[in-house]
Amino acid sequence: MPDNAVSPDGPLLADLHAGILTLTLNRPERKNAITPEMWARLRDRLLDATVDNGVRAVVLTGAGATFCSGADIADTAGMDEFPDPSDLISTINDTIRLLQELPVPTVAKVSGVAAGAGWNLALACDLVVAASDARFCQIFARRALSLDTGGSWLLPRLVGLQQAKRLALLADMIGADEAQSLGLVTWVTAPVSLDEFTHGIAERLASGPPLALAQTKDLLNRGLDRSLTEALEYESQAQAANLQGPDILEAFAAFSDKRDPDYTRAAAAR
């Protein structure tokens, strides 16, 4: 996807500018509830981002006043792409996995409500910026459903088992401040500052050393399932790759020249 490109109007908008790919769930009239078509488009955009060197950070957000109210179980738009229902489930799971494993940092920008699958989309991102009036709910139990879209894996890792059970079993709606106190939101900002604040975070991520950030993200994601000995071994392997790559040369040159590093120049030299 070329820089400054914007996808045509549709249920998912994609805008790439200065290394920041902004993906916008675009059904504001339905509080951005996700249809099968949207899951497929989001998965495809994330797949593209894994191999696009022009993408240095991803921002996931919703159009209008709401991030995402969850999966739209009443709208079958796009179901013709999934003659077997298990194919849709696989696409949804791939989307969550891609957000977690994407080799660039991901940021969820949340306003309004993030519920069910919508909240888990945000939790699958590396960082979450929420407007102070945002609200969050693991709504599944209210619909006689069990957790999906990664909630059973994400929640206990972020808040511990007991709080995860409280959020999932009671399906309480919580505010941005409580979500932040539980470790489910990284920053809370005033609604009028949400766009500017999130863009500033994305700019910082997009200007960072891509290989080092990708490896750091992977090390942290996998660290909970590794022993200390295993973690040290994988850290050593990652650091060896950094020491042999062009980014570290740019980092040292920038330090010597007393300037900010320009990792796009290092990438061009590859």
Beta strands per DSSP E along the chain: 12-17, 20-25, 57-62, 106-110, 113-115, 127-131, 135-137, 173-175, 187-189
Q: Which residues contact 218 (CB under 8 A, 6 or more apart)?
A: 101, 103, 238
Per residue in 168-205, pLDDT (tens digit) is: 999 999 999 999 999 999 999 999 999 999 999 999 99
Indicate whether 98 and 128 sit together in one domain.
Answer: yes
Indicate whether 222 and 189 sit together in one domain.
Answer: no
**2 within some domain:** no
% of the chain at pLDDT higher than 70: 91
CATH for 216? 1.10.12.10
Question: How far apart are alpha carbons 26 and 213 in whole angstroms?
Answer: 29
The range of the structural domain enclosing residue 122 comes to: 12-206
Per residue in 16-67, pLDDT (tens digit) is: 999 999 999 999 999 999 999 999 999 999 999 999 999 999 999 999 999 9
**5 within some domain:** no
Indicate whether 180 and 244 sit together in one domain.
Answer: no
Q: What distance lies between CA 249 and its chain's CA centroid?
A: 29
